[in-house]
Structures are given as structure tokens and as C-alpha cells.
Amino acid sequence: MKTTKTLAQISNSKSFQLSEILVSWQYYTEETVILAYSEIKRRGIQINEEIEKLITAFAVAQGKPIDQLEAEFFESKNVENYQEYHNSLPQFSETVTEENKKLEKLRRDQAFQREVFEKKQANKDILYGGLWFVGGLAITLASLASGKGGFIAYGAVIFGGVQFFRGLMKN
């Protein structure tokens, strides 16, 4: 039994997957091979000599050149070429399933939760950064007020200032 791939599956395939269809053409329906070949041409992917030989083998097995097979296939679909066939079908994204709706809702919920978490973290940075900054500044001013020099808590002031402004930027 030969495998059939839909236009949506072909259009969303990676380049190596399309090449694999051409390499293993015996296991796919004629329609699938023609669509894969047409998609490769649409993308402008270079076809190497080995794959060209396999395409020729496919065409020989069908009894017609690949271009004629391609033209007959699209004619049977009432279109002139692959691009027109691709554009004539409904957009694949319109067929949204319940599962896709659930996944989209889950993604939005996670984004909202991440936003709430980041907002809380920004508020904590503002609070603790401000406390470190004011505490370091208070210790430095109290120490310098003695008039004999003193302890300068520049680490706490710098750390607190950076954390405070980082929180403001996130908020």
C-alpha cells in the first residue's frame, strides 16, 4: 500500500522530507510524488544529480516525462500549475481543531502567568533595591558624620541602586 500525503502536509514539510519522498517514490502515490516535486521547484531548492535520476526513474515507471505528469495532474484539478493549485485550496490554518484551541488558550494562560510573575519580581527588585540603597547610604552618612572619616558602604549603595533601577525598567 502506497502512502498519500496531503497538500497541507507537503507544504509544511521540511526540504529533506520532500527529498525523501522523491528518493523513496516507490512507497508514495503518484499525486504525493508530483506534489513533492512541485513544492521543491516552488521553493527553488536545487535538485542534485542523484535525485534527478530518481525523478527520471519515477517518470519512466509512469510512462511519461515528469513535466507531462505534472501538467496532467494540475489539469485534472482544473488549475494551470502548482502555485495556482496551492492557492485554490482553503488555507490550512482555517481548519482549527478543538485541540489547537486548547493549546492556544494554554499558551495565553502561561504568558499571562509569566507576565504576573515578572511584575511581582520587578516590584520585589524595587523594594529590596531601594532598601539596600537607602541602608547603604544611611550607614555611609552616619559613619562620615563622625568627622574622622568612616566606613563607606558603596557595595550596598551600588547593588541597591542597580537592583532598584532594574526593577523600575521591568515594571
Q: By three-state DSSP, how is residue 117 classified?
A: helix
CA distance 163 to 113: 23
Range 94-104 average pLDDT:
69
Q: Examine the pLDDT at 62 and tell me if it is beyond 60.
A: yes
Q: By three-state DSSP, how is residue 3 classified?
A: strand
* pLDDT value at residue 94: 45
* Alpha-carbon distances of 73 from 11, 24, 145, rounded to whole Å: 17, 20, 92
Type of residue numbered 98 = E
pLDDT (tens digit, 9 = 90+) per residue, 105-143? 888 999 999 999 999 999 999 999 999 999 999 998 888
With a pLDDT cut of 90, the percent of the chain lying above it is: 43
Q: Examine the pLDDT at 91 and tell me if it is beyond 60.
A: no
